[in-house]
Amino acid sequence: MDDPFAKIFHLTDAELETRINDLTKKYWKTTNPFLQEQIVVQLDAHKEERRAREARKWQESQQNLDKGLDNLINID
């Protein structure tokens, strides 16, 4: 059986956003509380992946900023 969460990591950022939007729409369309629970689990996983990606991008941008500042400071 495939792990549905493993497929999240291979999505592009745009595909991840599309999936989040689709799951949100499906959540509000259904009145079945059991199905809503399952959708919430999937939504949480997708949103956590989005947060992790944003954190990695921010950290990389901070590292690049720090590297750029090293060249500006010249102490002789």
Q: pLDDT tens, 25-73?
A: 999 999 999 999 999 999 999 999 999 999 999 988 887 776 665 566 6
Categorize the per-residue pLDDT at 1 as very low, low, confident or very high, splitting at 50, 70 and 90: very low
Helix locations, 1-76, DSSP H: 13-29, 33-72
What type of residue sits at position 46? H
Q: pLDDT tens, 11-26?
A: 999 999 999 999 999 9
pLDDT at 2 exceeding the cut of 60: no
Closest CA to 17 of 58, 61, 51, 55: 51
